[in-house]
Structure 1
Amino acid sequence: MQIEMESLFKDLVVIDAASFVAGPGAATIFADFGARVIKVEAPAGDAYRLLHGRHRFDFNWALTSRHKETISVDLNTEAGRDILHQLIQTADIFVHNFRSDQIDRYDVAYERLRALNPRLIYGQLTGFGTKGPDADKRGYDTTAWWSSAGILDLMKKGQAAPNFPVGGVGDHASAMTLFAGIMMALYQREKTGLGDFVETSLVANGAWSNGMHLQGAIAGFDLSQILEEKGYRSPFAMIYETADHRFLILVSPNPDKEWPAIARALGHPEWLEDPRFVTLRAIMKLRDEVRQLFQDAIGALTMVEACQALDAEALSYSVIEKISEVVQSAQLIENEVIIETHSKDPDFQWTVANPIKLSSLTHRPVGDPPKLGEHTYAILKDLGLSEARIDELIASKVVRLSQAVDPAS
């Protein structure tokens, strides 16, 4: 029997005071599985709301803020900080990505909050860690995850500059780590009754993601230097272009075994009798020539024809999909990677599910993301504040209500 995801964490309260992607992304997973997640925003709103630019729909916010309630409160005021502290006293988890000066200004240091709530799980996401000269450096996944962890260094052609990386990739990977760390702390709390301080950073996640190549560098195998001098040259691990200007990536982990299958798939069984290619060692000595042979053969086929030929020999490859195709992929929809929403907005009929599935759970229905300050009034009422006090906070601009919200409703 399957039950909705929202039942799993229905007894957990998460305060999401983080901005942009990685920290809020961890909170989104808790919300997906039923936690009550309260998003804390400044009266001007999270700057993440502006990342969509001039596009008619805020797709970034819709992805990361689903299922969340939102309260708009000015943490630069004592009254605003008092509201946050009251929320934390009732919470299980607090997530933030504040720098040290902001931690002091907002009065949210771990020891301070632990005194308010000893069972609190305190999750902090930073760009570069909490120690060292870069501890207070502003970090994004393009700078900390891609660049400082050396990933981008391995994605350049020779000594040319690498392409600028796409944003959000390292953020979502790091969100999964923060979620996992918080889950570990929750498990420990079941034994001890006490919360804990969970910390991870974009650069740490980048280093872990790039771990194979960093471990190689430690052992004296510097792939970056090799690529600068020689480039990617193996014909068995290469990107090829088809006749209809699509690209596919071929990966042969055991080329000695798969060479005959590749020759047959590409329509050139005579390569197997060619004296130049009698051993893998001989093939690799002529790798540039063999790579061009592969390109010529694949370049004579359309994408569909190339896929059919490679599939017939059960070879490992993938088409480099266009993102407009990914969101319509029957494979991803069938596996509930891309899922339908309950939104009436034509720009939000589908969304990307978090990558965790439990066989006993079905997806929590996804609705529209919260407007700025949409739940401010209700959250303050839940804290026990009187209507008169809430009106004072609104008048003094400590909190903000969504214009679409009628406090009397």
Structure 2
Amino acid sequence: MPRPRPSTALDHIRVLDLTRVRAGPTCCRVLADFGADVIKVEAPPGVDPNENMSGDRHGFDMQNLHRNKRSLTLNLKTEEGRAVFLKLVETADVVVENYRPDVKDRLGIGYEALKSVNPRIILASVSGFGQTGPYRTRAGFDQIAQGMGGLMAITGHAGQGPMRAGIAVADSAAGVYAATGILVALAEREKSGEGQWVQTSLLQAMIAMCDFQAAVYTVDGKVPPQNGNDHPHSTPMGVLPTADGYINVGVGGEGQWKSFCKAVGRDDLAAHPDYANAKQRFRNRPALMGLLGDLFRTEPTAHWLERLESEGVPAGPIYTMDEVFADPQVDHLGMAVPVRHHARGDIRLIAQPLVMSRTPPAIETPVAEPGEHSAEVLAEAGFSTHEIERLRAARIV
């Protein structure tokens, strides 16, 4: 069976994927969608007590995270399984893992062990809190990182307690940062001929994603508060109620403020002393947003979108997920990619948010069955048919 080749961009790169849950699989998904030969290495059924941690094999999450990969089952807890893995490392370019930091060393597949068999290997490690330091062995999950990285303290309405984001921000960001690090390491290897160890963590990624909210503390010494749906520094920039729902509006400067006032039929507000400039509008935000809320409730969302767009004022609807994928612009961008699954039939998976003029990403195959490609991967590594059958019989693969 030929391996998936969704793109030519990375089809010269082989990746051994030891990851599960979300952060690590997100990293490997980026590489797979651009054509890397990603081999998902997982324990044979019944070996790993946490084998169902990632959910139903045919479920939406596994399908979306592990598409475009081949599957090899391998028991890394055995000496022979470790030897097989190191044999695969000899011809691999990248290994990605998201174990707790001590686990890979306990298994004998830490960076030094990999480097000893392939000096060009790039190991990417995604952990909860980092490979070193006082929290290195702690278990890390997305919501814990959201709390420790500062996001939950600035999310939600003031006085109503911390609020988690509705998506796995830390997990997804750590995965994308890990993929970025791998691509940097691959580019540098072209000059040096040597691999390296790429490390990131949910905690680091979460702090980096807080971006200007983190910098307002590190640069100015100010602790940012919760602002609900309002922008922390500009207004009106946030959510307003309409006659049939809600709308997002964004006014970023004095020219846009005047255009906004014209669009909503309140030119008088542009020169009102309480709202005449950004500083005054921010100081009087509660009164302004209350006034605008009363105004916007008089007409449906579509009316306000049309009026604001006519004056070039940034605005947008607030969609439920079904409405997201019904939007003509989303459809045009191709963010839902059709794939045929042997058990589920026709499904759609989420595209990479990138457009490439020559080597675009693509989705060719849904998640493979456990061990579906074990024989071919081992044969490519030089194992004979007899050796592969013996490994199967011993439950090594």
Using the size of structure 2 for normalisation, the TM-score is 0.89
How far did 1:177 drift?
A: 1.3
Deviation at 1:189, TM superposition (A): 1.0
Secondary structure at the aligned position of 1:190 is classed as helix
Q: Encode CA deviations 1:33-55: one digit per residue, 9 max, x unaligned.
A: 211110011224886865556xx
Within a 5 Å distance, the mapping from 1:4-83 to structure 2 comes to: 6-44=7-45, 51=54, 57-83=58-84
The structural deviation recorded for 1:323 is: 1.3
Give the whole-Å Cα distance in 1 for the aligned partners of 2:211 and 2:190. Answer: 32
Alignment pair present for 1:249 and 2:248: yes
2:338 aligns to what? 340
Is structure 2 residue 172 aligned with structure 1 residue 206?
Answer: no
Counterparts of 2:298 and 2:162, CA distance in 1: 29
Q: CA deviation at 1:386?
A: 3.3
RMSD (Å), alpha carbons:
2.8
Partners of 2:313 and 2:319 lie apart in 1 by 18
Give the deviation of 1:188 after TM superposition: 1.2
Deviations 1:218-247 (A, max 9, x none): 23442434759x9969641221121112x2
- % identical aligned pairs: 26
Q: Which amino acid aligns with 1:24?
A: P
Deviates more, 1:170-179 or 1:120-129: 170-179
Q: Which residue of 1 aligns with 2:262?
A: 264
Partner of 1:358: 356
Shift of 1:341: 2.9
The runs of 5 or more residues in structure 1 that have no matched partner are 400-409
Which of 305, 316, 323 is 1:318 aligned to?
316
Q: Which amino acid aligns with 1:252?
A: V
Q: Which runs of 4+ in 1 moved over 4 A?
A: 45-53, 225-228, 230-235, 272-285, 342-348
Partner of 2:194: 194
Deviation at 1:372?
A: 1.4
In structure 2, do the counterparts of structure 1 residues 305 and 178 end up closer, same or farther at CA, with 3 Å as the change threshold?
Answer: same
Change (3 A) 1:60 1:48: farther
Residue 282 to residue 150, structure 1, CA distance change in 2 (3 Å): closer
Q: In the aligned structure 2, how far is the partner of 1:231 from the partner of 1:317? A: 14
Aligned to 1:384: 382
Change (3 A) 1:280 1:136: closer
SS at structure 2 position matched to 1:361: coil
Paired residue secondary structure (2:326): coil
How far the C-alpha of 1:353 sits from its partner, in A, is: 1.4
Deviation readout 1:99-131 (Å, 9 max, x if unpaired) = 233112211111111000011111111111112
Counterpart residue number, 2:392:
394
Measured after TM superposition, the shift of residue 363 of structure 1 is: 4.1
User: 1:34/1:109 Cα in 2 relative to 1: closer, same or farther (>3 Å)?
Assistant: same
Tell me how far 1:385 sits from its aligned partner.
2.7
Unaligned runs of 5+ in 2: none
Residue 58 (structure 1) shift: 1.0
Cα distance change of structure 1 residues 362 and 258 upon mapping to structure 2, 3 Å threshold: closer
**Corresponding pairs, count:** 390
